């Protein structure tokens, strides 16, 4: 997942995506440069301090946004998982996790509403600072203004009705409440995103021709991204239909060979990388599962280091693995595989390992379902 755990708040583990290292550096340098240009007498040290405060505040703003989603999800009874802070509020999942339309709308709206509320409070602080006579209060007010604008943008942009933004989930919830069909509501949300994506480059072209602004190019790029996302959402809806009614028990591998934690990579790596169905192996201490090693973990290690690398050195520990049972929907497993970044997950029944389910197995199930649809469609047409 490329997200590093940094803290725990309200019972949630907080993880920050590694891309924030670059984002914070860019925001900090930009803010410090602008401050020293606008106020040359402020001094380089103070400028860098303000830049660091602005950068850290934007990270905290994104964290507040994600915590809004997490707390709302807990309120409606969803299991609490780690809170992963991505840039600009992250990406809304196309996977439906709520059981009622109003819960979907509540969870999706919570993040943007928190951002907007924080932004409005900071704008009030900025106004008070601007009206104050003291220079220090004015400086605080101007920093609050910058951070407030960031939060307002974070909340406003995420309300746009298109995946992967939160607004896409809100549209899905509203459509679900009206139609009563979650699958159809996802397609309606994808259509809304497609229309919005077409509107963006249209406005951009008008901006270039009429206002003579190159900002229109950015709008066109945003439109392309939204249209592409709409296509991905529609493909996700197709996969949902094809995997409907298929459970883990239908595709899981029962007879899997595990490896002990101390076994070196050179003794089993080829088993994972040779294209066989078992692209992941469980790591077992006795009969207890302690982790999983997949093709993605193996590829990170150079072949000349295999003899000195043990399974426990690169495995994903059992505590970090999503839980999967034989009765679970294959679509749910696909979502867990995507979020975990693993090639396979252990299947547990009453706490005991009964097999594994892999990306290869899910892909094979999708291909077979697609062939069945083509045969059914061909038979119906004839």
Give CA–CA dist 27/88, Å, rounded: 13
Q: Do 163 and 194 contact (CB within 8 A), yes or no?
A: no
> Minimum mean pLDDT among 178-182, 185-189, 265-269, 376-380: which range?
376-380
CATH code assigned to 248-366: 3.10.580.10
List, for residues 116-133, the tens digit of each pLDDT value: 999 999 999 889 887 876
Q: What is the pTM of this model?
A: 0.67
Report the interhelical angle of 101-131 vs 44-75 (nearest 10°): 150
List, in sequence order, the alpha helices (H) in the chain. Answer: 20-38, 44-75, 101-131, 135-158, 166-179, 182-206, 215-243, 248-251, 269-273, 295-299, 311-314, 330-340, 359-381
**Sequential DSSP letters for 118-139:** HHHHHHHHHHHHHH-SSHHHHH
Query: Does 148 score more than 50 pLDDT?
Result: yes
List, for residues 26-60, the tens digit of each pLDDT value: 888 888 887 777 667 777 888 888 889 888 998 99
Q: What pLDDT is attached to residue 2?
A: 66
- Tell me which residue of 146, 148, 89, 157 sits closest to 118, measured CA to CA: 148
Mean predicted lDDT score pLDDT of the chain: 83
List, for residues 197-221, the tens digit of each pLDDT value: 888 878 777 777 776 566 667 777 7
Strand ranges of the sheet holding 3-9, from the earlier edge strand across to the other edge: 3-9, 12-17, 83-85
Average of pLDDT values for 304-310? Answer: 93
List, for residues 237-268, the tens digit of each pLDDT value: 777 777 778 889 888 888 787 899 999 999 98
Query: Does 379 score more than 60 pLDDT?
Result: no
- Tell me which residue of 360, 361, 373 sits closest to 238, measured CA to CA: 373
Pairing status of strand 12-17 against strand 83-85: parallel
Give CA–CA dist 144/381, Å, rounded: 64
Q: Which is more confident, 93 or 120? A: 120
Query: Does 135 score more than 70 pLDDT?
Result: no
């Amino acid at each position: 997942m490329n997200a590093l755990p940094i803290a725990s708040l309200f019972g949630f583990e907080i993880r920050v995506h590694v891309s924030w290292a670059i984002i914070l550096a860019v925001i900090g340098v930009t803010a410090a440069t602008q401050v020293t240009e606008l106020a040359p007498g402020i001094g380089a040290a103070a400028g860098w301090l303000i830049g660091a405060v602005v950068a850290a505040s934007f990270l905290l703003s994104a964290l507040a946004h994600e915590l809004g989603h997490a707390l709302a999800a807990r309120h409606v009874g969803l299991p609490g998982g780690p809170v992963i802070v991505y840039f600009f509020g992250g990406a809304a999942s196309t996977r439906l996790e709520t059981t009622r339309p109003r819960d979907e709308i509540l969870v999706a709206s919570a993040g943007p509403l928190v951002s907007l509320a924080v932004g409005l409070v900071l704008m009030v602080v900025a106004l008070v600072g601007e009206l104050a006579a003291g220079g220090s209060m004015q400086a605080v007010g101007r920093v609050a203004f910058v951070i407030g604008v960031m939060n307002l943008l974070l909340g406003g942009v995420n309300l746009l009705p298109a995946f992967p933004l939160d607004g896409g989930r809100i549209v899905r919830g509203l459509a679900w409440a009206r139609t009563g069909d979650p699958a159809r509501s996802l397609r309606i949300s994808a259509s809304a995103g497609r229309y919005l994506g077409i509107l963006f480059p249209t406005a951009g072209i008008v901006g270039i021709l009429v206002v003579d602004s190159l900002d229109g190019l950015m709008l066109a790029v945003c439109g392309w991204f939204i249209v592409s996302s709409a296509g991905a959402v529609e493909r996700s809806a197709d996969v949902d239909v094809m995997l409907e009614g298929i459970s883990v028990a239908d595709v899981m591998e029962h007879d899997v060979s595990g490896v002990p934690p101390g076994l070196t990579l050179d003794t089993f790596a080829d088993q994972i990388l040779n294209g066989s169905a078992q692209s992941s192996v469980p790591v077992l201490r006795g009969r207890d599962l302690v982790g999983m090693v997949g093709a993605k973990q193996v590829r990170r290690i150079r072949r000349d280091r295999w003899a000195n690398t043990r399974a426990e050195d690169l495995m994903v520990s059992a505590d970090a693995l999503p839980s999967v049972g034989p009765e679970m929907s294959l679509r749910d497993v696909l979502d867990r595989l995507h979020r975990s970044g693993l090639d396979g997950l252990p299947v547990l029944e009453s706490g005991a390992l009964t097999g594994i389910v892999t990306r290869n197995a899910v892909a094979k199930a999708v291909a077979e379902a697609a062939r069945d649809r083509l045969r059914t469609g061909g038979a119906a047409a004839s």
